[in-house]
Amino acid sequence: MRKIISLICFLLPALAFAASPDTRPELRGDAPDRHVVVKGDTLWDISGKFFKDPWKWPYIWGMNKDTIKDPHWIYPGDVIVLDRASGTLRLGQGGTGSSGGVIKLSPKVRESYSDHDAVPSIPASAIAPFLSQPLAVGEGELNDAPTLIGAREGRVILGANDVAFVKGLPADKGSNWQIYRPGKTFTDPVTNEVLGVEAIYLGAAEATNFADVSTVTITRSTQEISKGDRLVAPSGAAVNAYLPRAPGSDISAHVISVYGGVSQAGQNTVITLSKGARDGLESGHVLALYHKGNNAKHEGEEFVLPDERIGLAFVFRVFDKVSYALVMQSHLPVQLLDRAQTP
């Protein structure tokens, strides 16, 4: 075991964090005084046990987002205490203090087997495959990528352990490669601008010989791999430590894809939004999801019904013009062209 120093003073309400009264999240009527963290908890779920708006994280945890970049500082066995006076959560001890029930907070040393024991912000298993594999690339970007042109023994469909041949494979980018196939084209439903192309992850390969026509061995296969598929050098894992918060500006995007090729999404489903880094979106931003109001006729007159808020989406990976988000809450199915905007 190794020692992990946890300075609980970081969890004290940050004096630099200023919030107007209307941003203070509302307590749940059944909010407990404390919660003991167990394996499988997420920080979003813990916040939701106490507050109606679990995404208002900087206020809930008394954070200053400029000073605390990594929220992974809570572990199973920790006790989360609700300070009803300030409307914030903090780490505390299991019992009450000796002075009027006040819990004294102080730095302490925590023993843990691994940083991986820390409670994640959102369900890690739901987004893990999307952090380094599915991609949104520029239009035509895959056209210039190394291309699989054939296989040993004339195989047409390839899988793990098969040997294949690739043209245009550079030797200066290492021996490990990911295999993709161009998928759907992402288009802005409002402006018709082409935002990029979804690159469908098929598997991985290891180069065993570099030449005009290089030799690779398929090391992993999630779908059938065939002639014409493209190879891309791994970009490394995306950021997976998040501080949930609303964007600092008004952002309005649309749901342009539901991962898996379906037309509707429920909770813990990954969706693609029509806005990205150039529009101000960042990993950790939380957006409200809305269904567009239907048209209705009454006494010969036609009305447009108000848009209906149906849930929340958590942005976890951002590209230039599009981003991936996880549906965190939804009381109705999220559909293509639903709107996602600053809550």
Report the domain count for the chain.
3
Whether residue 129 is contained in a domain is answered as no
Are residues 10 and 102 both part of a single domain? yes
Query: Any idea what the CATH number is for the domain that residue 272 is in?
Result: 2.40.10.410
Q: Residue 94: what pLDDT?
A: 46
Are residues 117 and 17 both part of a single domain? yes
Q: Residue 20: what pLDDT?
A: 40
The DSSP annotation for 108-172 comes to EEEEES-GGGSPPSS-HHHHGGGTTS-EEE-TTGGGGS-EEEEEGGG-SEE-TT-EEEEES--GG
Are residues 205 and 284 both part of a single domain? no
Q: Write out the chain's pLDDT in tens, 343 residues.
A: 333 323 333 333 333 333 344 467 899 999 999 999 998 898 899 999 999 998 888 888 877 555 445 555 788 898 999 999 888 998 875 443 333 344 444 444 444 435 567 888 888 878 877 876 778 888 888 888 999 999 988 889 999 999 999 999 999 999 999 999 998 899 999 999 999 999 889 999 999 999 999 999 999 999 999 999 999 998 765 555 678 889 999 999 999 999 877 788 888 899 999 999 999 999 999 999 999 877 788 878 888 888 899 999 999 999 999 999 999 989 999 999 999 999 9
pLDDT tens digits for range 22-75: 467 899 999 999 999 998 898 899 999 999 998 888 888 877 555 445 555 788
Q: Residue 70: what pLDDT?
A: 53
Whether residue 148 is contained in a domain is answered as yes
Are residues 111 and 12 both part of a single domain? yes
Contact 178, 231 (CB under 8 A): yes
Residue 81 belongs to domain spanning: 2-121
Are residues 141 and 42 both part of a single domain? no
Which residues have CB under 8 Å from 319's CB, separation 6+? 135, 136, 196, 276, 277
Whether residue 242 is contained in a domain is answered as no
